[in-house]
Amino acid sequence: MPSKTFAKPPLAELKQKLTPLQFEVTQNDATEPPFRNDFWDNHAAGIYVDVATGEPLFSSVDKFESGTGWPSFTRPIEDGHVVSKTDTTYGVVRTEVRSSGGDSHLGHVFEDGPAPTGLRYCINSASLRFVPADHLVAEGYSAYAGPFVSGKTAPVVVSTDNACAKPPPGEKAGCEATLDTALFTGGPTTAAALRGVPGVLEVDTEADQLRVVFDPKRVAKADLATLVQSHR
């Protein structure tokens, strides 16, 4: 495979390049809310690269439905691009995974995945950029186009028998979000006000609702609700 390196850009450049949510996840080790992210249910053919550097990380060939609400893979796209380290945050011993070139926080890996590896790489969508199979050559990833040339890829495996989707009785799930999400009713003015609140990382419009991703350590949901009320 190519020996191209994917160095981490300066933080100032990353702050301009990445959204606040992407920056918080990749640079400050946050975990996005489950089921409210871009790729947890993406079944399109292609590869997933580091949103910060473009380093190839995972392939849709190895993606499966884990029932956790986060993109899950049985293995990295190839050796050397995803590195592991011990994570003892919150008093629980887990194995964190990061990109090799850019040192972006990706998520965690668990030993409760399906065959053939028995591993479950539980990854934040905010750490990833998806490159569709038909864009691989144009974007410089032709070395990874082989599995998609025939138009046939591995079927999506459904596996919900894991400690995150179904933790043992009395135990916490192995994957927990550090960020939260809330839905409010409001228009452009309300959305603009919410985006200016410290701790609010993302505000998306969904029909007549605003989906807000925020850091509960920095701003309370009740305070956001108060702000929304004041703009009605």
Residue range 67-86, pLDDT digits in tens = 999 999 999 999 999 999 98
Q: What is the mean pLDDT of residues 124-142?
A: 97
Q: CA–CA separation, 206 vs 183, rounded Å?
A: 9
Q: What's the Cα-to-Cα distance from 131 to each of 47, 68, 93, 136, 138, rounded to whole Å?
A: 5, 23, 33, 6, 10
For tokens 């640079």, the residue is 27
Active site residue 122: yes
pLDDT, position 81: 96
pTM for this model (two decimals): 0.93
Mean pLDDT calculated for residue range 137-157: 87
Average pLDDT over residues 198-219: 93
- Arithmetic mean of pLDDT over the chain: 93
Q: Which of 18, 52, 122, 224 is catalytic?
A: 122
Using CA atoms, how far residue 210 sits from 6, 75, 170, 188, 221, in Å, is 35, 35, 34, 9, 13
User: pLDDT at position 3, please?
Assistant: 55
Residues 86-105, mean pLDDT to the nearest whole number: 88
